[in-house]
A and B are shown apart, each in its own frame.
Chain A
Amino acid sequence: MSRYRFETHLANVILYGSVIATLVFFYIPIVTLVAFSLTESRFLTFPIEGFSLKWYSALFAEKNFLPALWGSLKLSFVVTILSTILGAAAAVAWMRFKFRFQRSFQVLAFTPLLFPQLMLGVVMLLWFSVLGNFFDFSMALWSAVLGHVVYITPFALIIIAVQIHGFDDTLEDAARDSGCSNWEVLREITIPILWPGIFSAGIFAFLLSWGNFYLTYSLAGTSRTLPTFVFSGIANGSSPIFPALATLTFIPALILVGLADFFRRRAAERLKSDTTET
């Protein structure tokens, strides 16, 4: 009995310990950045000397990060919409239809996920350069949009496919029986029920695009986004402006992740109360 108890204790220590250690590990660089953004000194050394918000005001006084912020916003917004729509459509085909070459379609839709990102960027960079020589254009944000869409759509596809998995399609039959057209069924039944999945896929897509460095770096031409702006900034020597900028970009991400979870949980609760009522 005591051996059994010892085993249980040991297992608990290892398991809880690993979760705590992992969380600490994950948050070391994030907390470090937030702490350094509040320093008074202009050197990023520890222990931090005094607390002030002066690097935030320095950041806003310089304003040279604004084009990068604007570029990031445009890029992530367009990518979110395109990836979510493409991913939702493909998820429906993946889960609800059976068709010839389905296996090939599934493999093709997933391969970008298994491609090292910098290689994906390089391969597309070569293609855009050849096209650019031929049709006389140069790469900018739009080519980065295409790169992001290729890479991020599989993520959106998985998340929406999971939502489709629990979908009750007799609801669609009922709507059709009561005289709805296909379009009305889609608008009134299918999309509202799948909405939590589509919504979290959208947030995931936005954040993946927002934080993406590799693809933007290869494909955006001379356009800047926040990650490439920070990369070139660090290469030229670090200043407390970058921790301040980092902290500011973490905040919208935190809000979006919390929001996504709130909607997911509310949808789950509603589903539970619906099933208990019927």
Chain B
Amino acid sequence: MRIKNMSWRHPALQIATLPLLTVLVLFFLIPFGMTVLLSFQVTKLYQVAWSWDLTTWKDVFSHSYYWVIMARTLKMALICVVLCVFLGLPVAYALVNRLPSMENHVKILIVFAFLADAILKTFGWVLFFDRSGVLNGFLEVLGFGPAASDILFTPTAAMIAMVYNLLPYTIFTIYLSMMRIDRDLIAASYDSGASKLRTFWEITLPLSKPGLLAGAVLVFVLGLGVFLEPKIMGGGTSPLAAELIRQTFETRVNWPLGAALTIVVIGIGALTLMFFGYLLIKTTKSQGGNT
């Protein structure tokens, strides 16, 4: 397909880009800028007073409580990334290499589970893990005694729900980059006597790195913002950043503090993203040099 060079004066380019640009500037860039400005104000009698000082930021940096929650959020997001990558990798590989006839059906099943209402699915998990729920019912039948598992309302339950909601992202990004691997490279590797494991390790895995990293970044960023899972499944005993921010806005009605905490979370996400972006560019460049 030809790619046309376009000047911004061309009406076709304006029609194609300006509507989306307007929406994004008005309802994404400007609000974000305003959040940054708001973090430099203070709150008096539940009202924002426009005063331009660093009180809120001093508050954020002097309370270790906030940073304990941030560290916990970071830890949960990173564990979730590792789990999603390791669970998604074999599924994506099997979809590409083992299930050519079933591929579409499995994909539809995954897409449907992914698109179904997140809060209803989380509620389903609650019913499953409940003390008198499905899991304990089965365990009792198997002879483990009544209420053998007491997992609900623990961080483990929150993690299971997080992996549940975010795993499809890694499956699909890894799947997409594995689809694009040239089959001849794998055949060539077998012809030169490499074992399956070695071929996977030296051909498939390096070539699916872009998808792996993209999926990992998506899961990480989305994992930083989870709220439903720790609240419903974790029982609210160990709150994460999103819950803290929601409380700051709704219960404490301290908007500047909420704005500052939002920026801290987004900052942590952005820094990690830049780091992974740097890695991604480096690996794709070195790959381009090799082949």
A242–B20 touching, CB < 8 Å: no
Select the stretch in A26-34, A59-67, A270-278 that faces chain B.
A26-34
Q: How far is the CA of A115 from the CA of B224 in the complex (A)?
A: 9
B20–A118 touching, CB < 8 Å: no
Cβ-closest 10 pairs across A and B:
A116-B225, A29-B124, A127-B31, A46-B137, A93-B16, A18-B90, A26-B113, A15-B94, A211-B117, A45-B132
Q: Please, could you name 24 A-B residue pairs with CB atoms under 8 Å apart, sorted by A?
A: A4-B195, A22-B91, A23-B110, A27-B113, A28-B124, A28-B128, A29-B127, A45-B133, A92-B16, A95-B1, A95-B3, A97-B4, A98-B6, A108-B29, A116-B221, A118-B242, A119-B225, A124-B28, A150-B28, A153-B23, A165-B1, A169-B2, A210-B117, A253-B117
Q: How far is the CA of A112 from the CA of B27 in the complex (A)?
A: 11
Q: Is A58 located at the chain interface by the 8 A CB criterion?
A: no
The contact string, 1 if C-beta is below 8 Å from chain B, for chain A 202-217, is 0010011011011000
**Given A18-B91, A28-B128: 11 more A-B contacts, CB < 8 Å:** A33-B120, A97-B4, A100-B8, A119-B225, A147-B27, A150-B24, A153-B23, A231-B119, A242-B123, A249-B120, A261-B104
Restricting to A62-106, which residues have a CB under 8 Å from any CB of B?
A: 85-87, 89-90, 92-93, 95-100, 105
Q: How far is the CA of A26 from the CA of B128 in the complex (A)?
A: 13
- Other-chain residue from A32, A85, A105, A150 in contact with B124 (beta carbon distance below 8 A): A32
- Other-chain residue from A27, A36, A90 in contact with B127 (beta carbon distance below 8 A): A36
A227–B119 touching, CB < 8 Å: yes
Q: A46-B134, A118-B227, A211-B115 are in contact. Are A167 and B242 (CB under 8 A)?
A: no
Instruction: Report B-chain residues with C-beta under 8 Å of the C-beta of A97.
Output: 3-6, 12-13, 16
B87–A112 touching, CB < 8 Å: no
Q: Is B75 located at the chain interface by the 8 A CB criterion?
A: no
Instruction: Report A-chain residues with C-beta under 8 Å of the C-beta of B8.
Output: 99-100
Q: Which residue of A lies closest to B15 (CB)?
A: A89
Q: Is B252 located at the chain interface by the 8 A CB criterion?
A: no
Select the stretch in B52-60, B181-189, B254-262 that faces chain A.
B254-262
Q: How far is the CA of A208 from the CA of B115 in the complex (A)?
A: 6
Interface residues of A (CB under 8 A from B): 4, 7-8, 11-12, 14-16, 18-19, 22-23, 25-30, 32-33, 35-36, 43-47, 85-87, 89-90, 92-93, 95-100, 105, 108-109, 111-120, 122-127, 130, 146-147, 149-150, 153, 164-165, 167-169, 204, 207-208, 210-211, 213-214, 226-227, 230-231, 234, 238, 242-243, 246, 249-250, 253-254, 257-258, 261, 265
- Other-chain residue from A35, A115, A168, A213 in contact with B119 (beta carbon distance below 8 A): A213
A51 to chain B, nearest CB (A): 16
A116–B133 touching, CB < 8 Å: no
Q: How far is the CA of A126 from the CA of B13 in the complex (A)?
A: 32
Instruction: Report B-chain residues with C-beta under 8 Å of the C-beta of A85.
Output: 19
- Other-chain residue from B20, B21, B125, B136 in contact with A28 (beta carbon distance below 8 A): B125
- Other-chain residue from A4, A99, A119, A227 in contact with B5 (beta carbon distance below 8 A): A99
Select the stretch in B32-40, B61-69, B151-159, B283-291 that faces chain A.
B32-40
Q: A27-B113, A108-B29 are in contact. Are A19 and B167 (CB under 8 A)?
A: no
Interface residues in B, total, Cβ within 8 A: 93
Q: How far is the CA of A130 from the CA of B104 in the complex (A)?
A: 47
Q: How far is the CA of A261 from the CA of B108 in the complex (A)?
A: 8
B271 to chain A, nearest CB (A): 13
Instruction: Report A-chain residues with C-beta under 8 Å of the C-beta of B142.
Output: none
Q: Is B269 located at the chain interface by the 8 A CB criterion?
A: yes
B124–A30 touching, CB < 8 Å: yes
Q: How far is the CA of A87 from the CA of B23 in the complex (A)?
A: 12
A98–B5 touching, CB < 8 Å: yes
A22–B16 touching, CB < 8 Å: no
Q: In this complex, which of B19, B93, B111, B115 has the most chain A Cβ atoms within 10 angstroms of its Cβ?
A: B115
Q: Is B148 located at the chain interface by the 8 A CB criterion?
A: no
B129 to chain A, nearest CB (A): 10
A127–B30 touching, CB < 8 Å: yes
Q: How far is the CA of A45 from the CA of B137 in the complex (A)?
A: 9
Q: A98-B3, A99-B13, A118-B225 are in contact. Are A265 and B104 (CB under 8 A)?
A: yes
A70 to chain B, nearest CB (A): 16
A26–B164 touching, CB < 8 Å: yes
Q: Is B79 located at the chain interface by the 8 A CB criterion?
A: no
Q: Which residue of A lies closest to B266 (CB)?
A: A119
A119–B262 touching, CB < 8 Å: yes
B258 to chain A, nearest CB (A): 7
Q: How far is the CA of A90 from the CA of B23 in the complex (A)?
A: 12
Q: How far is the CA of A202 from the CA of B4 in the complex (A)?
A: 27
Q: A47-B137, A114-B218 are in contact. Are A29 and B122 (CB under 8 A)?
A: yes
Instruction: Report B-chain residues with C-beta under 8 Å of the C-beta of A92.
Output: 16
